[in-house]
C-alpha cells in the first residue's frame, strides 16, 4: 500500500506508453503506481499522506544537466552585479558590499554583464580601486570566462605589464600595455591561485543554500560540472546525514581522469543520491568573452576567432586524455561553444569510437552552442548528447548578432535541428551563469523571445521546440545524459518518486505566459522538500 498519494491532477508522465494520468502512488521513495484517481486511491491506508493536486500539473522532477552548484550557492550571498547598467552603479554596488566586510576579505562572484553598459564597455580596475583599497576584488562576468581584478588582487597575483598571456587565456591591456584588470580564461588562474580556499563549513553552507534554491525551482537532480574532491567530500557528509535534497552527479576535471581511473571508478559509480564517474573538459571559452573558438573571425572583433581551451593545449593533449579516460570507462562531457570547437570535439569523439571500439558511452557536448549545418547530424550518428542551456539563447540573443552575424546565428542553440536529426537534448541552466529555473528555460526554448523584448517572435525562431519536447529535455533527456533513465526522468512504476507541481498547465497556457508559472511543490524520494509559501 502507498505511503503517499498525489491525486486529482494532470500527471504528464514523459512516458510514451502512458503519457497522461490523474494520480500517482508512492512507497518507500519510489513510484508504486500511476493511473486514474479511483485506481490509485484504492492503495490508500489510514497512514497514507494524500495531496490533492486540485487539477494542477504534475511533472517528473526537473534534472538540471549543467550546474556549478557550489559556486551557485556562494552567489546567493555575494555582491550582485548581473543587472548593473552603468559604471557608476557597478562601482556603487561593490563599494556598498565592501563597506560591510572586514579588511582583507576577498570580494568575488558578481556575475556582471558588460553588454548592459553603454557601448558594451569592459570594466577596469580604475572603476573600483578607490572604493576597495583594503579588499582584493575578483568579480567575474556572468559566463565565468573572464573576470575583473582590482589593483590589489593583481598585485597579490603578481600580474603586471610584463606578464605574458598564458596558453588558452588573455590579459586585457590598455594602450600603454598595463593590465586593465580583465583576465580571460586561463589568465584568471593567477588570481585563483592566491585566493584563500573555502573551509568545509563554508562549502556546506553554500551547498545547503544551493539545494534550497534549486528545490524552490522544481529541481530534484543536477549534474554538477564543478564537483571538486573538496566539494564531493561535503556532498558525502550531507549524504551520510540524509540531508541531500537534490540528487547529485558530480563531474571531475578531464585532466585529472587518472585520479578516478586508478582505483577502478567508472561512469555511474555511487547510489541514488550521489554518483561520480564523469569528466568535464574545455575545448574553448565563451561567446561573451570572445574566446569561443570559431572557424571565422568575430564580426565585431576581426582580429580574433577565439581561443582553444586549456585542455586543447598543447596539440594532442585532448586526444590523449579522451582516449585514456574512455578506455577506463569514464564518461566524457566537453564544453564546446564555437563552431570550430564543436567540430573538433565531434571529430575527436569519432576517433575515440574508432580506436576504443563501440559501446554505450553517452558522450556529451556541454553547450553545443554554435553549430555548422553539416555537424548537426553527427550528434545522433555518434551518440553525442547535446547538453544545452536554453536560457542562454534569450540572453545572448540580445547581442550575439554583432558577434557572429546572421548566417552563423542560424546554427545557434539549434534545438529544433538537433531533435529533427535524432539527437538527444539534455537541458540545464549553467547556474551560476544563468538562473537555475527550468520553467524559465522551457519558456526560452519554446519562445526564444530575448530578454530585451526586441524579438517577440523569437531569435532564430525556426529553432523553437514544443513545450512537451522542452519538458522531456529537462527530465528524461537529462536522465539519459547521466545514464539514469532506468530510475528517473519519467513518472513510471519503480522509478524514484521525484516530482514537481506547477501553478499552471505549461502544456495548455499561451507560451508567452510560461515564465509566469511558479513551482508549488517539489518532492524528492517521496518527501516534500519545497512548498510555496513555506
- Interaxial angle between packed helices 467-474 and 438-447, expressed in degrees from 0 to 180 and rounded to the nearest 10: 140
| pLDDT of 77 | 83
276 φ, ψ (degrees, to nearest 5): -135, -175
| pLDDT of 53 | 98
- Domain definitions of the chain by residue range: 78-192
Domain 78-192 of CATH type 3.40.50.150 = no
Radius of gyration of the chain (CA): 23
SS3 assignment, position 408? helix
- Rounded to 5°, angle at Cα 200 from 194 and 201: 115
How far, in Å, CA of 310 to CA of 166, rounded?
10
Are 112 and 141 in contact, with CB atoms under 8 Å apart? yes
How far, in Å, CA of 6 to CA of 95, rounded?
50
| pLDDT of 154 | 97
Contacts of 52 (CB under 8 A, 6+ apart): 7, 8
SS3 assignment, position 193? coil
SS3 assignment, position 83? coil
| pLDDT of 534 | 56
C-alpha to C-alpha distances, 158 to 138, 187, 192, 286, nearest whole angstrom: 14, 12, 12, 25
| pLDDT of 222 | 98
C-alpha to C-alpha distances, 303 to 8, 169, 172, 295, nearest whole angstrom: 60, 15, 14, 13
Take residue 297 and report the three cell numbers written for it. Answer: 573571425
How far, in Å, CA of 424 to CA of 364, rounded?
10
Each residue's pLDDT, cut to its tens digit, for the chain (534 residues) gives 999 999 999 999 999 999 999 999 999 999 999 999 999 999 999 999 999 999 999 999 999 999 999 999 998 888 999 899 999 999 999 999 999 989 998 999 999 999 999 999 999 999 999 999 999 999 999 888 999 999 999 999 999 999 999 999 999 999 999 999 999 999 999 999 999 988 999 899 999 999 999 999 999 999 999 999 999 999 999 999 999 999 999 999 999 999 999 999 999 999 999 999 999 999 999 999 999 999 999 999 999 999 999 999 999 999 999 999 999 999 999 999 999 999 999 999 999 999 999 999 999 999 999 999 999 999 999 999 999 999 999 999 999 999 999 999 999 999 999 999 999 999 999 999 999 999 999 999 999 999 999 999 999 999 999 999 999 999 999 999 999 999 999 999 999 999 999 999 999 999 999 999 999 999 999 999 999 965
Contacts of 137 (CB under 8 A, 6+ apart): 94, 98, 106, 107, 108, 128, 148, 149, 150, 152, 153
Amino acid at each position: 500500500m502507498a505511503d503517499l498519494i498525489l491525486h486529482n491532477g494532470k500527471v504528464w508522465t514523459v512516458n510514451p506508453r502512458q503519457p497522461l494520468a490523474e494520480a500517482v502512488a508512492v512507497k518507500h521513495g519510489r513510484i508504486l503506481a500511476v493511473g486514474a484517481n479511483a485506481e490509485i486511491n484504492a492503495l490508500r491506508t489510514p497512514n497514507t499522506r494524500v495531496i490533492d493536486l486540485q487539477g494542477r500539473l504534475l511533472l517528473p522532477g526537473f534534472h538540471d544537466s549543467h550546474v556549478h552548484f557550489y559556486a551557485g550557492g556562494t552567489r546567493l550571498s555575494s555582491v550582485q552585479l548581473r543587472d548593473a547598467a552603468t559604471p557608476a552603479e557597478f562601482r556603487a554596488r561593490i563599494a556598498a558590499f565592501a563597506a560591510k566586510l572586514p579588511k582583507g576579505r576577498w570580494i568575488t562572484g558578481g556575475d556582471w554583464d558588460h553588454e548592459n553598459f553603454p557601448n558594451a564597455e569592459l570594466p577596469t580596475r580604475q572603476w573600483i580601486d578607490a572604493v576597495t583599497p583594503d579588499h582584493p576584488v575578483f568579480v567575474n562576468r556572468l559566463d565565468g570566462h573572464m573576470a575583473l581584478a582590482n589593483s590589489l588582487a593583481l598585485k597579490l597575483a603578481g600580474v603586471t605589464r610584463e606578464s605574458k598571456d598564458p596558453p588558452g587565456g588573455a590579459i586585457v591591456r590598455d594602450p600603454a600595455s598595463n593590465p586593465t584588470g580583465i583576465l580571460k580564461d586561463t589568465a584568471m588562474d593567477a588570481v585563483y591561485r592566491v585566493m584563500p580556499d573555502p573551509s568545509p563549513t563554508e562549502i556546506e553552507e553554500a551547498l545547503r543554500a544551493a539545494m534550497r534554491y534549486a528545490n524552490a525551482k522544481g529541481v530534484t537532480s543536477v549534474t554538477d560540472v564543478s564537483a571538486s574532491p573538496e566539494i564531493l567530500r561535503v556532498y558525502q557528509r550531507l549524504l551520510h546525514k540524509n540531508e541531500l535534497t537534490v540528487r547529485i552527479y558530480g563531474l571531475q576535471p578531464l585532466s585529472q581522469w587518472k585520479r578516478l581511473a586508478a582505483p577502478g571508478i567508472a561512469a555511474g559509480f555511487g547510489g541514488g543520491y550521489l554518483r561520480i564517474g564523469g569528466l568535464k573538459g574545455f575545448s574553448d571559452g565563451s561567446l561573451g568573452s570572445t574566446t569561443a573558438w570559431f572557424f571565422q573571425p568575430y564580426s565585431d572583433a576581426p582580429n580574433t576567432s577565439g581561443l582553444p581551451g586549456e585542455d586543447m593545449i598543447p596539440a594532442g593533449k585532448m586526444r590523449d586524455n579522451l582516449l585514456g579516460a574512455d578506455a577506463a570507462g569514464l564518461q566524457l562531457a566537453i564544453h564546446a561553444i564555437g563552431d570550430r570547437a564543436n567540430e573538433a570535439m565531434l571529430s575527436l569523439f569519432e576517433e575515440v569510437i574508432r580506436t576504443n571500439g563501440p559501446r554505450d558511452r553517452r558522450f556529451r557536448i556541454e553547450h553545443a552552442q554554435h553549430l555548422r549545418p553539416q555537424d548537426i547530424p553527427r550528434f545522433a550518428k555518434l551518440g553525442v548528447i547535446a547538453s544545452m542551456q536554453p536560457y542562454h539563447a534569450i540572453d545572448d540573443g540580445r547581442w550575439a548578432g554583432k558577434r557572429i552575424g546572421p548566417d552563423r546565428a542560424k546554427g545557434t542553440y539549434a534545438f529544433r535541428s538537433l531533435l529533427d536529426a535524432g539527437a538527444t537534448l539534455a537541458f540545464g541552466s549553467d547556474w551560476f551563469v544563468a538562473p537555475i529555473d527550468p520553467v524559465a528555460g522551457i519558456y526560452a526554448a519554446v519562445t526564444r523571445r530575448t530578454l530585451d523584448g526586441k524579438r517577440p517572435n523569437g531569435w532564430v525562431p525556426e529553432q523553437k521546440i514544443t513545450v512537451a519536447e522542452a519538458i522531456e529535455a529537462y527530465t528524461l533527456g537529462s536522465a539519459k545524459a547521466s545514464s539514469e533513465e532506468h530510475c528517473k526522468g519519467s513518472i513510471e512504476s519503480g522509478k524514484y518518486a521525484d516530482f514537481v507541481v506547477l501553478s499552471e498547465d505549461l502544456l495548455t497556457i499561451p507560451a508567452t505566459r510560461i515564465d509566469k508559472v511558479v513551482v508549488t511543490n517539489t518532492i524528492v524520494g517521496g518527501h516534500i522538500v519545497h512548498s510555496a509559501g513555506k
